[in-house]
């Protein structure tokens, strides 16, 4: 009768151990799935950040080009205005060139 009791106890212990192994396997699978989902979210966020950085860089380049074009247009308009005034052609051309040079220097400084 003692051996039968020990066998019954050992059988229960084996069943409990098997249940614990099953629970541990399920927990491990859940952790692996969660890790895979987090990795996927991280990769998507990383890709989005790279896209946004590319767009930011393109916008900065467009801004610099637009600003430079606006400065050139302002210098050209100033030169045209000065050239339209009689007797001031030499002085106005020099002034326009000086203004254009200043604009280029300012643009260069702001880009760097």
What is the pLDDT confidence band of residue 96, given thresholds at 50, 70 and 90?
confident
Distances (CA, A) of 104 to 6, 34, 88: 95, 55, 24
The percent helix, strand, coil of the chain (3-state, each to 5) is 95, 0, 5
Distance CA 43, CA 37 (A): 10
Mean pLDDT over residues 13-17, rounded? 95
| pLDDT over 90 percentage in the chain | 65
**Domains identified in the chain, total number:** 1
Q: What pTM did the predictor assign?
A: 0.53
Model confidence at 110: pLDDT above 80: no
3-state secondary structure of 88: coil
Instruction: Write down the residue that tokens 């009791």 correspond to.
Output: 5
Q: Which domain holds residue 24?
A: 2-111
């Amino acid at each position: 009768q003692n051996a039968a009791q020990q066998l019954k106890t050992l059988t229960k212990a084996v069943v409990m151990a098997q249940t614990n192994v099953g629970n541990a396997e399920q927990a491990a699978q859940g952790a692996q799935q969660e890790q895979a989902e987090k990795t996927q979210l991280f990769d998507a966020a990383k890709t989005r950040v790279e896209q946004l950085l590319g767009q930011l860089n393109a916008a900065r380049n467009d801004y610099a080009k637009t600003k430079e074009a606006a400065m050139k247009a302002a210098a050209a308009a100033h030169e045209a205005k000065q050239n339209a005034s009689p007797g001031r052609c030499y002085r106005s051309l020099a002034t326009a060139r000086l203004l254009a040079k200043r604009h280029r220097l300012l643009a260069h400084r702001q880009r760097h």
